[in-house]
Amino acid sequence: MTDPDLTGLTAARLVEGYRKGEFSPEEATLAVLERAERIQPEVNAFVRLLPEQALAQARESTERWRRGEPRGLLDGVPTTVKDIILLRGAPTLRGSKTVSEKGRWEEDAPSVARLREHGAVFVGKTTTPEFGWKGVTDSPLSGVTRNPHDPSRTAGGSSGGAAAAVALGAGPLALGTDGGGSVRIPAAFCGIFALKPTYGRVPLYPASAFGTLSHVGPMTRDAADAALLLDVIGVPDSRDWSALGPAPGSFSAGLAGGVRGLRVAYSPTLGGQVAVRPAVAAAVRRGVERLAELGAYVTEADPDFADPVDAFHTLWFSGAARVTSQLGPGQRESLDPGLRQICATGARFSALDYLAAVDVRMELGRRMGRFHDSYDLLVTPTLPITAFEAGAEVPKGSGHRRWTGWTPFTYPFNMTQQPAATLPVGTDADGLPVGLQLVAARHRDDLVLRAAHTLYEAGVSGAGS
């Protein structure tokens, strides 16, 4: 019999247990696979489970731990991979019927390759909307992914399957991608932790059609696991010419500094630009007050920028048009209807339109760079709402046309390439998680992780437990 409690442990705790001989990677992997199979019919977190490969990897890891020779920092830890990211031996269909399963699928993405080098166990590919284009997870290929706290609600997206899997114990570590909030949105809706690192910290290959908006990021139970995962995947890879050099130190080692003396700007509405639900605002404010109690200097202050949504749409819709540009008429008919719409819009933009959006992006980056001369961290709600009905791109009756209408706190920081994380800070009256977002200057992923870890240690977070 496998111990069902193994599915509730963090990666760090699993590694500690392997080291002490309390349980084995094979036992942990069996427990995770059983949990994944149990949750799949209701939540639909996976597009593909890989039980045979996972158990073979787990048995090899068990033997390494028996010999006292673990391969790396995450040897034997069950891990999932969003079905946008290449995983050797499994098709990467990107949520689309237009991608053929045929082929040998022989290459790992850089993040997957680093995890494999450290002995991680790959249990499956998680669901995504088609080509990761929107902030909820449903697709013509794999259907609707649902919220672990209420299956009638969305898990968010585009890394919705990854968030649901972590929240329900189907692997403590997940790789997601984030081009406009796609690790932070579902993490906030599902009550887990996620980090969009500084652009280039985690190498990306193949390059995203959405260009330098798209980041690979950890999705985990807590900030300590995210730091551990970032230590593994946040190293250069020659296939990504835009990847950063080696990190200045271990992210895990930097967690213990606390927040005393940090200058924190709290922006509850981005200067009145965003209508935030009262339950969300109250939970985030309590988290901010805890930062102050822990020694941070908190000031209510707004970053100086107007909503850059039009420029973001130009960049995002152009990328969508590019990713589908080689499809024939029959293939286009099989696309998500919303994706077809934004591709048509994106195809009409000129090079000058695109460059004008780049100008907006550069100015936004300049403003945020100056803002962080005065403040170490910016705190906002991750989202102004909690999870809404599954299968819809926007909440019913909201008046929003596209998913960007309800994600105004997330996509600006893809444009600026800054590190941004979300952690759960409570629930609303329906028991749905609320996320708090932490943002730092480029290259200061350590500050985001340290502040989040301090809040976890203080007991502020708990919606995902």
**Cα separation, 16 vs 22, whole angstroms:** 9
Virtual CA dihedral for 64, 66, 70, 73, nearest 10 degrees?
A: 130
Strands 150-154 and 121-126, by their bridges, are unpaired
Instruction: Please provide residue 188's backbone torsions phi and psi, each rounded to the nearest 5 degrees.
Output: -65, -45
My answer on whether omega of the bond before 152 falls inside 30° of 0, hence cis, is no
**Cα separation, 234 vs 232, whole angstroms:** 6
Contacts of 396 (CB under 8 A, 6+ apart): 388, 389
> What is 262-314 written as a DSSP string?
-EEEE-SSTTTTS---HHHHHHHHHHHHHHHHTT-EEEE---S----HHHHHH
Residue type, 408: P
Q: Give me the residues paired with residue 217 across strands.
A: 176
**Cα separation, 229 vs 415, whole angstroms:** 24
DSSP 8-state secondary structure symbol assigned to residue 351: H
Residues labelled as active-site residues: 82, 158, 182
Please check whether residue 87 is in contact with residue 135, taking contact to mean a CB–CB distance below 8 angstroms: no
